[in-house]
Structure 1
């Protein structure tokens, strides 16, 4: 007789249902296999046995072939209609009455046993089934674990805060290993941001369940640092956390009993994924912090840029009381035309700045010419005509204003090529400069000057229309006329400029 205690260690988590219409036989089977450590239930009614399988959980069914009111093959056929995983061993006391091999194969019966006074052969069949079930469970648990890793990692990658990432990793590891406690430890010097760790603490530690002591964490972490692989230490299973170059910490799970091979494999796989998530989170936080610093620096530069614009604009306007506010209005009209055309925000903002600076070159025009009441001489007019090129030269020395230099230089060019300073024509003239030409001329005509009074809106519009195709881009004149139709908005916005 084989020694039953040899198989106890692999049987206590498996259950057997013994079915035979002979109560003595089922009792004998129950007694024998319970001594070997199995959980065994018995049933003498085939129909009740089918329902027990349907509503309960059994790993192995031992059943007699010849029974009443239905035989064993009929029982198996009904069970297979709803359960494909149950391992089945068919018993018979009459070799001549055994089911044909085809029936055994078709019904996926795992074993066949001829009844005798000894159960050694049957026990071997049961042990063989247990090994297969164990392998199947391992595969299923491994697949289940991989599925959990696959499902959880995208959500973890979406997190940014270190504690959030750590807590989600801990929960996944705990669920994955059916653990009692879990910890994550990262070496202080490996962190890109060490603000969350006290200066005298060597590790950043987060835990779930019964937290290990810092000394215990250090001991466990140092072990994986030396071995560079999943390690077992008492109740703990510990995996290394790595970045691209080195081990930076450890992930440990305390479990009940010795870990199975697939659990070690899963923890190793998960730890590698966790390493990527942790490193990715650190890089993302660093990028966010650096981006915030850049935004602050850019805001300061933008504020300085705005102050420079205001100061330089005032330099132009204070030269002549009659042109004060002209640059603001030209910038406003030009940006309104661009928005009416459907241009994007960046285009409109750049055009607005160009409008503010379009006459910056007049800083270099002598006051006796710029402020002259009467008609200018040819020499004086030639000096005035230098201001687009002079303005472009002034702004070209400032990096932030480089994009608007061609606009400033070309804002007095004409569509027919008779403008200045370069005699550009048509689309040779930048679109922004063509827009400013329309806005500049309109505001000049509708403003009071030393040498004349305002022409008024109606006459100014007629002049713009008359200049279509010669002085002005005709399409841009039409766009501006649409802007002028919104009189209420114009009145409100222009009043705001004066404030």
Structure 2
């Protein structure tokens, strides 16, 4: 079930509020209205408002003051200011206080609907990004804990609590197979009555868990579990809204089941949740096997290597997903990240980097503009010249990007490179004005790759630059904007590309 979005309109004109309500006919949206800033504050205190549209000129509490108070109550709310009497100074003040956008009245209803759609898409992307980062961090931490011990029982409680938290489950249990009786018993749990933990036994083929044991396949139950004929209500609360069961596997077959239940929330688990739970199950299965067969350490190391490959694949898939999220922010930069990645890897290869270093700079190429997720769409796609305040906001994206990725262990080096990819060789760049060798070498590579693709790409405020002219611009920036060593390497790469193109044309 999709969660509803809550939108608040604040205006002292009741007729205008009625027009807004009629304009937004969408079952996925709840509309709230307030005729003054004080009532708006009360609504935001009582309800999780996603977007607020606030009239600038209101008696009592004006729009800017209302904006400030709403942000104090809920920092994550997106606020759009509305006015028929605004000035650029007022718009700048609103943006400085945290407004997402500033629109002039009378407001076209199509513009209103488009603004709502864009903000909700941005919030959805941001939510998914935060969720994916949390999931990756949890997998990485679970892998670290599980690989640090030879006795799974020592850390089983911590692992179960982590999985329940990440999956937003209300109950979780790890059931192991008693081979003598061919039935499952609970060895560690979260949220389940202790008496049930002690006495519950599930035979092969019985309940959802027994079915998974029998068929060695994961199961996702969407909607009320009571409607699934395999389900047995072991906790006697009759309101399991969704459940997942995945097998724990060892070389000789299924050794147990990892189960998650949702009770309090009406939102069902998804296939993505099932995949993530399966990764946790694979890690747990490996840890149990290691604790039982510690003497066969070499076999276990091979298995852990396979798991690490899975984890790296997950990270790479996530990097690609994050790159797509970046490009989705601005249709004019669609494909920019992949082009920067291609150029950066080619330069690194020309400079003799190792495979590991080239893989790292490839990840950086895809993620270098991730900080733009924190920049307002209206600024990124503005067709004209940016105001000074808008340009200052744009210049924050390297710092925002570094902060997003720095807490993920595998991305520690990535954060530093992202932070400095807009520094200049002569020290006149941002955010820290580093100069020459002070700038990380990979950041200097990224700077050339990023700048070249930006020059040859169309932007809302200019046409694309011809390739030959862009090459001349890169040459002209050698020693000032760019590291001469990196420029020379890139020019060699481009010359080989041009030679290959000429050869193909001659063959044709």
User: Is TM (by shorter chain) over 0.5?
Assistant: no
Q: TM-score range by the shorter chain?
A: 0.3 to 0.5
TM-score by length of 2: 0.40
Q: TM-score, normalised by structure 1?
A: 0.41
